[in-house]
C-alpha cells in the first residue's frame, strides 16, 4: 500500500467523481483507477463503485467510507514524516529495454546518483511491449525508456535520440577497409543478426530487401552484447545500432564502420501515461538521458573508443 494509492481514494471522496479526482491529481482516469484497484487488492475489499447507477451521496462503498478516516490519518502521518525527514531516500521506478539498460541507463543512473544521492533509481529491463503494458497497469512505474511500439493506446512518447547503424567485424576483416561500404558488400558474408520478432532484426532485413538483396544469416542472438561478443570471437560480422558515446563496443576487440543512411535509425525516448504529469524527481532523472547530458556527460559525437575504428584510408 503506497501513499499514492491512499491519496487516490481520499481525492475521489473529496472530488466526488473519477474524472474530477484524476484532474486534481494530474492523472488520467485510467491511472487513477489503477491506483484504486491496487489499493483494493492490498486491502481485499471494494472501496469505490465501479458501475454507473442511481446518483449516490458518495462514490465510495461502505467499506471505502469506513476506511476513509484511516486513509486521511495515514496521509497526514506520511506528510509529517516527510517534513521531519526531508532528505529521506526517494525512489523512482523506471523500465527500459535491454539495449538501453546496458548502453544508456547504467551511465545515466550512475551520474544521477552522484547528483542526487538521496534518490534511488529502481531499474527494470523489459521488452518494448512489456514496458507499455506495465505503464498501463502499474502506477508505481514512473516511466519507460524505449523505442515507441506501434499502436500504443494511452501512452505518450517524448523523443530523446536516434541511433544510427554500423558494421562491426573482427579487427582484420577486409570489409573494414573497403571504400564506400554498402549493404551489397555485406550480403554474402556470414552475418549475425538479432532474434526473430525483434525491432532491430526487422530494421536490418528491411534495408536489405529494399535493395533487392538477401543477406546470408548464419547466427542469431537475443541481445546486442551477445552479438558483439560473437563478432569478437570471429564467428561473423554484424550490423548493430551504435550509441554516440561508444559504449556498444567499448573494451571489445572489434572494428567499426558507420553506415549512415543505409539502415533506418532506431528512435528512442521516454514513454509516459497519457495526460500524466511526472514528478520533479523523475523529470530530473530524464535530464540525464537527454542528448546534452546523456551517456555520462559524454558528447554525442564521442567515438566508439573501445573498438578500433577503421577508415578506408588506414
Q: Are residues 140 and 168 in the same domain?
A: no
Q: With bands split at pLDDT 50, 70 and 90, how would you rate the model's confidence at 292? A: very low
Q: Is residue 238 within 8 Å of 230, Cβ to Cβ?
A: yes
Residues 247 and 272 in one domain: no
pTM attached to this predicted model: 0.63
Residues 57 and 206 in one domain: no
pLDDT, mean of residues 16-23? 89
Read off the CATH number of the domain in which 35 is found: 1.10.10.10
Confidence of residue 52 (pLDDT cuts 50, 70, 90): low
pLDDT of residue 176: 94
Domain assignment of residue 7, yes or no: yes
Q: Is the pLDDT of residue 219 over 70?
A: yes
Mean pLDDT along residues 262-286: 90
Whether residue 294 is contained in a domain is answered as: no
Domain that holds residue 229: 164-265+304-309
pLDDT at 25 over 70: yes
State what percent of residues in the chain have pLDDT above 70.
87
Contact criterion met (CB below 8 Å) for 160 and 290: yes
Where does the pLDDT of residue 77 fall: very low under 50, low under 70, confident under 90, or very high at 90 and above?
confident
Q: What's the pLDDT band for 58 if we cut at 50, 70, 90?
A: confident
Question: What are the tens digits of pLDDT across the range 86-101?
Answer: 554 578 999 999 899 9
The gap between the terminal CA atoms of the chain, to the nearest Å, is 62
> Among 54, 84, 114, which residue terminates a domain?
84
Asked if residue 183 belongs to a domain, the reply is yes
296 inside domain:
no
Are residue 150 and residue 228 in the same domain, yes or no? no
Q: Give me the mean pLDDT over the 213-223 stretch.
A: 93
Same-domain pairing of 271 and 150: yes
The label of the residue with cell 446518483 reads: 55
Cα angle 114, 116, 117 (rounded to 5 degrees) comes to 70
Does residue 71 sit in the same domain as residue 123? no
Range with lowest mean pLDDT among 9-13, 88-92, 279-283: 88-92
Q: 54 and 186 share a domain? A: no
Three-state SS at 99: helix
End-of-domain residue from the set 84, 117, 143: 84
Q: Examine the domain organization and report whether 134 and 168 are in the same domain.
A: no
Residue 75 and residue 143 share a domain = no
pLDDT exceeds 50 at position 22:
yes
* Whether pLDDT at 225 is above 80: yes
CATH number at residue 207: 3.40.190.10
Would 110 be classed as within a structural domain? yes
Q: CA dist 62 to 3, 43, 45, Å?
A: 21, 14, 10
- Confidence tier at 294 by pLDDT (50, 70, 90): very low
What is the pLDDT, as a whole number, of residue 192? Answer: 96
pLDDT in tens, 103-146: 889 989 998 988 888 889 999 999 888 898 888 888 889 999 99
What domain count does the chain have? Answer: 3
From 39, 69, 84, the end of a domain falls on 84
pLDDT higher than 60, residue 305: no
User: Does residue 205 lie within any of the structural domains?
Assistant: yes
Q: Do 210 and 125 fall within a single domain? A: no
Q: How many residues does the chain have?
A: 314
C-alpha distances (whole Å) from 155 to each of 133, 216, 272 are 10, 38, 6
Mean confidence (pLDDT) of the chain: 84
Model confidence at 282: pLDDT above 50: yes
**Same domain for 98 and 41:** no
Taking the C-alpha atoms of residue 221 and residue 99, their distance in angstroms, rounded to an integer, is 13
Shared domain for 235 and 179, answered yes or no, is yes
pLDDT-derived band at 26, boundaries 50, 70, 90: confident
Among the listed residues 310, 311, 302, 313, the one whose alpha carbon sits nearest the alpha carbon of residue 171: 310
* 97: in domain: yes
Query: Can you give the pLDDT at residue 85?
Result: 53
Residue at 314 is within a domain: no
Amino acid at each position: 500500500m503506497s501513499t499514492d494509492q491512499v491519496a487516490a481514494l481520499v481525492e475521489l471522496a473529496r472530488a466526488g467523481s473519477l474524472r474530477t479526482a484524476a484532474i486534481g491529481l494530474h492523472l488520467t482516469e485510467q491511472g487513477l483507477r489503477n491506483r484504486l484497484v491496487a489499493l483494493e487488492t492490498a486491502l481485499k475489499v471494494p472501496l469505490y463503485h465501479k458501475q454507473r447507477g442511481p446518483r449516490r451521496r458518495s462514490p465510495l462503498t461502505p467499506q471505502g467510507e469506513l476506511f476513509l478516516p484511516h486513509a486521511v490519518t495515514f496521509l497526514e502521518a506520511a506528510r509529517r514524516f516527510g517534513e521531519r525527514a526531508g532528505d529521506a531516500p526517494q525512489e523512482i521506478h523506471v523500465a527500459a529495454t535491454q539495449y538501453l539498460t546496458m548502453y544508456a541507463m547504467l551511465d545515466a543512473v550512475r551520474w544521477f546518483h552522484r547528483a542526487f544521492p538521496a534518490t534511488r533509481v529502481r531499474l527494470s529491463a523489459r521488452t518494448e511491449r512489456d514496458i507499455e503494458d506495465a505503464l498501463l497497469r502499474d502506477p508505481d512505474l514512473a516511466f519507460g525508456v524505449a523505442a515507441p511500439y506501434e499502436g500504443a493506446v494511452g501512452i505518450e512518447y517524448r523523443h530523446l535520440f536516434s541511433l544510427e547503424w554500423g558494421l562491426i567485424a573482427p579487427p582484420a576483416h577486409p570489409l573494414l577497409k573497403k571504400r564506400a561500404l554498402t549493404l551489397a558488400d555485406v550480403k554474402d558474408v556470414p552475418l549475425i543478426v538479432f532474434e526473430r520478432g525483434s525491432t532491430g532484426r526487422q530494421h536490418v532485413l528491411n534495408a536489405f530487401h529494399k535493395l533487392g538483396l538477401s543477406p546470408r544469416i548464419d547466427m542469431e542472438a537475443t541481445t546486442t552484447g551477445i552479438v558483439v561478443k560473437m563478432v569478437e570471437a570471429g564467428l561473423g560480422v554484424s550490423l548493430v545500432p551504435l550509441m554516440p558515446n561508444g559504449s556498444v563496443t567499448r573494451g571489445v576487440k572489434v572494428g567499426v564502420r558507420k553506415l549512415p543512411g543505409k539502415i533506418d535509425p532506431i528512435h528512442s525516448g521516454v514513454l509516459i501515461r497519457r495526460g500524466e504529469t511526472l514528478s520533479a524527481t523523475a523529470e530530473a532523472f530524464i535530464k540525464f538521458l537527454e542528448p546534452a547530458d546523456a551517456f555520462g556527460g559524454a558528447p554525442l559525437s564521442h567515438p566508439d573508443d573501445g573498438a578500433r575504428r577503421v577508415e578506408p584510408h588506414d
